Amino acid sequence: MNKHLTLKVYLLFFTNLFLLISCSSDQDSEEYQLIPEEDEQYSGGKNGTSFNTSEEAFGFFSTHLSAEQQSDFGIGNSFFRQSWVAAPASTTARDGLGPFYNAVSCSSCHFKDGRGRPPMFNGELGTGLLLRLNLPQTDAHGGYLPETTYGNQLQDVAILGQDKEGEYTITYQYFNETYPDGTQVELRKPVYSIINLNYGTLSGSVSISPRIANQMVGMGLLEAIPETTLLGYQDISDANGDGISGKANYVYDVVTQTTQMGRFGWKANQPNVKQQVAGAFSGDIGITSSLFPNENIPTGFNGSTIPNGGTPEISDETLQKVVLYSSSLSVPARRNYQTQQILQGKEIFNRLDCAKCHIPKMTTSSTYYIEAFRNQVIRPYTDLLLHDMGTELADNAPDYLANGNEWRTPPLWGIGLIPTVNNHTYLLHDGRARNVEEAILWHGGEAATAKSNFKNLNQADRQKVIDFINSL
Ligand code: HEC
Ligand code: HEC
């Protein structure tokens, strides 16, 4: 190794790039090999990663759960997967569906614990896209008021004998984005219309926020990240002048009746997995719980003659099992993470500023209630903070502190297996992106520089970034 190379090795190690120089006998050629970081393949930490790359890849529990937790996971799984039915029914543990809902089970939207997609044709139901509705006025807790008649979500199905709330249609506007090298990529932007409303007109000031069902992996690990770690990434007034701010959402916790940092959902509007799950039971399936004891029905609808499935319809005990299930699905391990193509893609990803929001690595707390997820070094590729992503991605629907331009950085772990598990490649909050490249090209606002950095790469380097993301 010549002196120059030795110095380079030294410097690279101490800038933490973990590069290894493979010395060539030819002193003129300074080709070097990138090597992975130690344990880089364990995206969900040693205890929260599974090594299955099949279509079941998102469905595994952590083998470090206690025996009791593993059994609860199994029961939670069955309540997640199986269909709820209208009351009264012989399966009383699973009745109470509706009267208004979007899907009969969690897994119809989170199919195989994976990612939903927009409908392929208008009227296709239960694919995992729903429309949130709200008004510009806030309530006492800083949340935005639900739409006066239809509440905070359009429910496009109802039980037999009742009229659904309404339907929506999507039309796409197509346009091209051009790279400096002349390559063109077609993008499509959805436009929503709510139609066939059965319970009166929508308030004129309603905002519509489309949301796609996320993949379910690693929720407990995200919940276990210490709040101080996440707040450390906040830079609300962009004090460091890098154009990227990032702010935490603060939302209402219905159990403790306090304001808490939001972590879940595309606008981080849920403080914890439990409230997210209970909210899904209420809004998406029409199942009441102790957290949300009232049926989610249009204002003025008389539901008194419709039998319910108990008060509440899901017991605290069963709810807790679905919460445990939802919290402990393992994150798939990285694939091909040691190849030069992907290591180079990772290096470019970091250099382009992508990693300023999609934070590669953090450590979970030492006190989280699921012991297996304590002290885990995880690689979620998110900061769970809100970022202004520009007007093109905006839904103009505020959600607590999130304004109409702001979205939570989604974790990128598992993203490369969505095609295997869910048989599609649709990304972003509304599934408008038809692949990773389109998702990147939709970045704007605080991510505008990262996007233009990406656009300025040559085709081979762009592909490296895309291949890296697909290895997550
Ligand atoms: C109608 C489709 C649909 C159904 C049914 C559904 N979900 Fe979801 N789920 C979504 C959508 C959409 C989001 C994103 C919500 C948002 O951004 O507000 C989501 C988000 C989540 C999240 C948070 C994901 C994240 O990355 O922050 C969890 C956990 C979750 N759902 C669990 C469940 C459980 C458990 C059930 C069954 C009780 C369920 N969901 C039923 C559509 C659905
Ligand atoms: C300013 C913060 C920020 C930066 C910088 C950033 N992103 Fe994102 N990224 C986001 C947010 C927020 C979303 C979700 C936007 C939405 O759904 O509307 C997102 C979405 C994505 C998605 C789709 C994820 C999914 O689950 O659907 C991919 C892929 C992605 N980003 C890759 C990148 C790459 C590559 C770069 C660098 C070129 C980058 N991001 C830079 C914040 C950022």
355-413 pLDDT per residue, tens: 999 999 999 999 999 999 999 999 999 999 999 999 999 999 999 999 999 999 999 99
- pLDDT tens digit sequence for 141-151: 999 999 999 99
Q: Please, are residues 263 and 276 in contact by the beta-carbon 8 Å criterion?
A: no
Residues 6+ apart with CB under 8 A from 337: 36, 40, 41, 343, 471
Task: Evaluate: CB of 359 within 6 angstroms of ligand 2.
Answer: no
Answer yes or no: is pLDDT of 8 > 70: no
Task: Evaluate: CB of 428 within 6 angstroms of ligand 2.
Answer: yes
Task: Evaluate: CB of 214 within 6 angstroms of ligand 1.
Answer: yes
CA of 204 to the centre of ligand 1 (A): 27
Confidence of residue 31 (pLDDT cuts 50, 70, 90): low
- Find where tokens 């239960």 sit: 126
Task: Evaluate: CB of 426 within 6 angstroms of ligand 1.
Answer: no
CA of 299 to the centre of ligand 2 (A): 37
Nearest to 228 by CA among 106, 345, 362: 362
Residue whose CA is closest, atom 42 of ligand 1? 213
Task: Evaluate: CB of 426 within 6 angstroms of ligand 2.
Answer: no
* Rounded Cα gap, residues 131 and 53, in angstroms: 32
Task: Evaluate: CB of 280 within 6 angstroms of ligand 1.
Answer: yes
- pLDDT tens digit sequence for 225-284: 999 999 999 999 999 999 999 999 999 999 999 999 999 999 999 999 999 999 999 999
- pLDDT tens digit sequence for 294-324: 999 999 999 889 999 999 999 999 999 999 9
Question: Which tokens is 55 given?
Answer: 């279509």
Task: Evaluate: CB of 118 within 6 angstroms of ligand 1.
Answer: no
Geometric angle at alpha carbon 282, from 276 and 283, rounded to 5°: 85
Nearest bound ligand to CA 321?
A: 1
Stretch 428-450: mean pLDDT = 98
Residues 6+ apart with CB under 8 A from 222: 263, 264, 380, 382, 384, 411
CA of 446 to the centre of ligand 2 (A): 10
Q: How many CB atoms lie within 10 A of CB 372?
A: 21
User: Around 432, how many Cα atoms within 13 Å sit in the side-chain half-sphere?
Assistant: 27
Residues 6+ apart with CB under 8 A from 41: 49, 333, 334, 337
- pLDDT tens digit sequence for 48-58: 999 999 999 99
Burial class of 17 by CB neighbour count within 10 A (0 to 12, 13 to 18, 19+): middle
- Find where tokens 């769970």 sit: 384
Residues shown for the chain: 472
Q: Please, are residues 231 and 335 in contact by the beta-carbon 8 Å criterion?
A: no
* Rounded Cα gap, residues 240 and 393, in angstroms: 25
Q: Please, are residues 166 and 195 in contact by the beta-carbon 8 Å criterion?
A: yes
238 φψ region: left (φ > 0), alpha (ψ -120 to 50), beta (else)? left
Residue 294 identity (one-letter amino acid)? N
Geometric angle at alpha carbon 77, from 111 and 81, rounded to 5°: 40
Task: Evaluate: CB of 244 within 6 angstroms of ligand 2.
Answer: yes
Burial class of 410 by CB neighbour count within 10 A (0 to 12, 13 to 18, 19+): buried
Task: Evaluate: CB of 219 within 6 angstroms of ligand 1.
Answer: yes
Question: Which tokens is 2 given?
Answer: 């010549």
CA of 238 to the centre of ligand 2 (A): 18
Question: Which tokens is 64 given?
Answer: 């470090």
Residue whose CA is closest, atom 2 of ligand 2? 357
